[in-house]
Amino acid sequence: MRGKLITLEGIDGSGKSTIAGKLQENPAIKVFEPVFTREPTRGTLTGNAVEKAIQSNTDQLAELFLFTADHAEHLAKIVKPALENGKVVISDRYSDSRYAYQGITLKTHLENPLEWVKNLHRDWTIVPDVTFLFDIRPEVSIQRCGKRGEQSKFEKIEFLRRVREIFLRLATEEPERFIIIDASRSPEYIEKEVAEKILEFLSRN
């Protein structure tokens, strides 16, 4: 039987990586021996290219293709093999990040970037079974990012406000796939809620 694909999405600093780390240590989740993974991938040819691109002034269309190449590599090497082995896969960011972020960055290049980027994925990506959207105001998430130390060129309030809007629109369009999480609460509370929802989903499917 094909495994299950669970993704964590949200704007920078919404707490996805923190919760992914907590889920890895959560005894009830550990029972399922999930494969924890992320996009952009780390330490790969495509992941390194993405990292360089987002630290520089790369053309937005070129950037989209680098992120998408990284997604293809991620699917081929990690996600597909794990799902074929019946595994539960939990990915910190996935295709919805491209729809939301590049849906904004490509507004200077394309008339309807969101639909265009979705179409680019349509015939070969694997749609997640469940997507947790970590929803938070950018004013709060940016402050958290400041504390983390790193600075990504995407960490600007006005930009993230628009990215957040697309994420919320995607969630409205596919209510059966998305679970919206109030990411402004404490990590402990969020971990409990996400873990419960994952266990509930896995027991039903």
Ligand X SMILES: Cc1cn([C@H]2C[C@H](O)[C@@H](COP(=O)(O)OP(=O)(O)O)O2)c(=O)[nH]c1=O
Write out the residues near ligand ADP by the rule CB under 6 A. Answer: 10, 12-18, 144-145, 147-148, 186-187, 190
CB of 108 vs ligand ADP, minimal distance in Å: 25
**Rounded Cα distance, 66 and 48, in Å:** 10
SS (H, E, C) 124-158: CCCCCCEEEEEECCHHHHHHHHHHHCCCCCCCCHH
Please list, residue by residue across 162-174, b when 16 or more beta carbons sit within 10 angstroms of its beta carbon and e when fewer do. bbbebbeebbeee
Q: Which residue is nearest to ligand X (CB)?
A: 101
The binder of ligand X chosen from 93, 167, 170, 171 (CB under 6 A):
93
Does 40 sit near ligand X (CB under 6 A)? yes
Residue the block writes with tokens 């409205």: 172
CA atoms within 13 A of residue 145's CA, in its CB half-sphere:
21
Q: Is 129 annotated as a binding residue?
A: no
Q: Which partner, ligand ADP, ligand X, none, binds residue 190 by CB below 5 to 8 Å per kind?
A: ligand ADP
Q: Which partner, ligand ADP, ligand X, none, binds residue 22 by CB below 5 to 8 Å per kind?
A: none
Does 167 sit near ligand X (CB under 6 A)? no
SS3 63: helix
Does 178 sit near ligand X (CB under 6 A)? no
Q: Is 14 annotated as a binding residue?
A: yes
Task: Give the neighbor-by-neighbor strand order of the sheet with 178-182.
Answer: 35-38, 88-92, 4-10, 130-135, 178-182
Sequence ranges of the binding site for ATP = 10-17
Sequence ranges of the binding site = 10-17
The binding site for ligand X (CB under 6 A) comprises: 12, 17, 39-40, 54, 67, 93, 97-98, 101-102, 152, 154
